[in-house]
Amino acid sequence: MASTFQPSTFWDEVRRYGVTIASYTWTLLHELVQAPPHPGERHHPVRLFIGSGMPRGLWRRVQRRFKPARVLEFYASTETGAILVNLRDAKPGSMGRPLPGSAEVRIAAYEIESAKLLLGRDGFVKPCGVDEIGMLLARVRAGSQTSSAPLRGVFHRDDAWLATGDLFERDRDGDYWRLDSLGDVIAAADGPVFTTPIRDALGDLPAVDLAVAYGVRPGRRRHELAVAAVTVRPGHELAARDIGDALRALAMRERPAIVRVVARIPVTTWFRPLTAPLRQAGIPLPGEGEQAWYLDRSGSTYRQLSGAARRRLVGRGQLTGAPSTAPPSYSLITRTVSCGAAFMHSWQSTHSSRFSFTISTPSWPARKMSTGQISASLAASSRSWAIESSTSTAMNSASLMRPRRVSV
């Protein structure tokens, strides 16, 4: 069997080894869907494609092309033990429900801007109701060992929970939907904007191949602009009306300010889409060969991006979309690190319960913060990164949410 995934040999290997279940990560199956028809895919034996992170649009294309095989998407938090599985496959894009035997999960009311769990009148954290967005927590089982210090007394006295760092909502049927990780939320002027609904809405368009959404902070503006980038399928064209129709299901403030077409969306070695290079490119310049649209003042119509519209969007700051020299807020530190920015960091600790943290990037100078200031921002992030200690002193329970390397 091949040591790496090769669309050209996939169906030959399926036939040779009698494969009935194939695994994937993120957009791995994109190349398989894009490949020319292969004789081996006719009446194939594959029953399931099982994995995590597949965009909804790709999910539907996989099932249409490779019927009767279906996609079994799951969500798993390596730090907390939370596992959700979409077993019924009735709702593409949903993470499904908790896997029996896995950690109990609940969605807690959470304020994104202040990075805090919200308390009720009784002093405990408020649980979210149907269709309310909050932080997914996983309950710590009695006697179990955790690599991070749990939160205690969350919903009841003496209970213990771990934060996944992911924002979810639960529908009336009891199915869970992932909106974003904390590090991916766009800090727009009208409030937080989630990238997953934008990605899925645009990804459902027949002309769109892949889609991503991300925030760009033009010039010295305090807030970000929500930008979506898409690739177009061969033989298809994307029009402003199509974009408006696809995004109409989202509230006005949840729509991207700009939608642009790019030649390709880069991915990691495990096929996770990368937005850092697109973010660094900033706001596109109108011109020949550039396809980009902006959301006009009505909030419902997308129009071809012009020089005047671009100047209005970016203001008087830098027109390149380059990062501001002003340091980002604490809630954006996770995003800065997860985007692959060059950074240095060190823990300066003592045997006491106080710690400090120093971080710097090419765009802003080193800044020291206490653990209390950054603990919520760095809470159990699902990004792949780590903080290395500059001394042998281990962190103690004073830091409620210890950052750790997570593989997803």
Q: Which residues make Cβ contacts (< 8 Å) with residue 393, sequence separation at least 6?
A: 349, 350, 351
Contact 107, 170 (CB under 8 A): yes
**In this model, does residue 192 exceed pLDDT 70?**
yes
> Does the domain made of 185-314 have the CATH classification 3.40.50.1000?
no
pLDDT score recorded for residue 221: 83
pTM for the whole thing? 0.77
The helix/strand/coil state of 241 is helix
Average pLDDT over residues 249-278: 97
Residue 1 pLDDT greater than 90, yes or no = no
pLDDT at 381: 37
pLDDT in tens, 27-36: 999 999 999 9
Residue 311: the pLDDT is 92
1-76: CATH, from 3.40.50.980, 3.30.530.20, 3.30.160.40, 3.30.750.24: 3.40.50.980
Domain definitions of the chain by residue range: 1-76, 185-314
Q: What one-character-per-residue DSSP string does 294-329 give?
A: EE-TTSS-EEE--HHHHHHHHTTS-SS-PPPSSPPP
pLDDT digits (tens, 9 = 90+) for 214-225: 999 987 788 999
So what's the pLDDT on residue 315? 76
Which tens digit of pLDDT belongs to each residue from 312-365? 998 743 334 333 333 333 333 333 333 332 222 222 222 233 333 333 333 333
Encode pLDDT of 132-144 as tens digits: 999 999 999 887 8
Collapsing DSSP to helix, strand or coil, 242 comes out as helix
Q: Distance of CA 78 to CAs 44, 53, 154, 404, Å? A: 33, 14, 21, 11
Q: What is the pLDDT of residues 142-169, one digit of tens each?
A: 878 888 889 999 999 999 999 999 999 9
